[in-house]
Amino acid sequence: MKIQDDSWLNESTTIQPTEISTEFSESNISTVIIDPTTWLPTDSTVKPATNLWSNLKQHLPALIGIVVGICLCVILSVCICCCCRRRRIRKKKHGASYRTHSDSESVSEDGIELPTISPKKKIKSPTIPAKKVRICPQMALAKEFVESLDWDSVLFDSSHDKCYCNNCYPATWANVTDAGGQKYVIPRGWVRIGLYVDAATVGVNDIWNKWIVTFHGTSLLAAKSILHNRQFCLPGDKLIDGTLLGIRPGHIPDKKHIYTSPTIAYSSLPVYSAKSDFNSSKNYCAYKVQVVLQCRQKPNTYSVQGETIDARTTRLCPFIPNSEVEYFTEIRGSLVAYGLLVKLI
């Protein structure tokens, strides 16, 4: 079979193959190779390292500024850390001294370790309203009675206040504890109105830790005289109303002694602590009231003897035998009153 029309073949002969070949010839390819000099800096003498150094030199002040700033920040941080550390140490020391003082008081006054409040717990949250402090009715009544006496407020120190009623001092708590190495019989049923104690007396004698607890039954007039004179009275001393303090029946005549007892059961006997009347203006009730001074007494400065009220076989205190319920001394400075014990019936 023969192709009738092959004119198209003839026409193709007019195509110049050289035109195609020239486009992909080696000579032409070589012209598209990228010359490195076209992207490198035109100045071939500038080397990269030199360029970096010039850049550094250009930004040197800024770099120095950054380095100095970092150094200052480090120094400042170290200083702040040191200050915080010192403050923490100071706070710890202060907290320790605070706890020591608080403990010494809470333990020494009653010989019982009361729960201590750390300074951290004392910080009040502004969002939480402070709880109302519950005042025991017995304490409130005793306070009302003492206020009615109209004694000078400087004689008192509320930090020594304590109530020993059944609610404030439950029956399950200790009846007897230790103070100054001797038995301290808790004055159950009484309210203690704290008295001011001279800081020098406490500091010099360490009375909260070394002195024992004793009780001194007395009249309101004699108690006021003791607090005003800042020392205990001996028989023959003039009281603040001008009268002389006498010797009680049963005690050694012509011997000037101050009498105390390790138990309030003995000191509160009517012969030592006379009852007086008190009418409350708050609840309109009438009471019989007694007062006894709670004291710290220096060990080895007194003599011990048996009861002098002719109790015979009647046991006066379940914790102290009758043969040891009375102490006497001639040394005024061996006694410090720190509480006015009040009982209202």
Q: Which residues bind Zn ion (CB under 5 A)?
A: 136, 138, 163, 165, 168
CA–CA distance, 164 with 264 (Å, rounded to integer): 12
Please classify residue 67 by burial: count the beta carbons closer than 10 Å to its beta carbon, then call 0-12 exposed, 13-18 middle and 19+ buried.
Answer: exposed
Residues 3, 8, 12: CA angle, nearest 5 degrees: 130
Nearer to Zn ion, 164 or 215 (CB): 164
Nearer to Zn ion, 138 or 218 (CB): 138
**Whether 244 contacts 333, CB under 8 Å:** no
Q: Where are the alpha helices (DSSP H) in the chain?
A: 7-12, 17-23, 26-31, 48-58, 60-110, 137-149, 199-205, 207-210, 220-229, 264-267
Cβ 179 to Zn ion shortest distance, Å? 21
Longest dimension (CA), the chain: 174
Cβ 141 to Zn ion shortest distance, Å? 10
Nearer to Zn ion, 122 or 134 (CB): 134
CA–CA distance, 326 with 335 (Å, rounded to integer): 15
Cβ 342 to Zn ion shortest distance, Å? 12
Nearer to Zn ion, 165 or 311 (CB): 165
Nearer to Zn ion, 120 or 132 (CB): 132
Cβ 193 to Zn ion shortest distance, Å? 12
Cβ 238 to Zn ion shortest distance, Å? 37
Cβ 187 to Zn ion shortest distance, Å? 12
Choose among 186, 180, 331, 205: nearest CA to 265. Answer: 186
Nearer to Zn ion, 138 or 294 (CB): 138
Nearer to Zn ion, 165 or 274 (CB): 165
Cβ 170 to Zn ion shortest distance, Å? 10
Cβ 297 to Zn ion shortest distance, Å? 26
**Whether 292 contacts 218, CB under 8 Å:** yes
Nearer to Zn ion, 165 or 240 (CB): 165
Strand, coil or helix: what is 215? strand
CA–CA distance, 204 with 117 (Å, rounded to integer): 27
Cβ 167 to Zn ion shortest distance, Å? 5
CA–CA distance, 326 with 305 (Å, rounded to integer): 5
Half-sphere exposure at residue 58, Cβ-oriented, CA atoms within 13 angstroms? 6
Residues 184, 258, 145: CA angle, nearest 5 degrees: 70
Nearer to Zn ion, 55 or 166 (CB): 166
Q: Which amino acid is at 321?
A: P
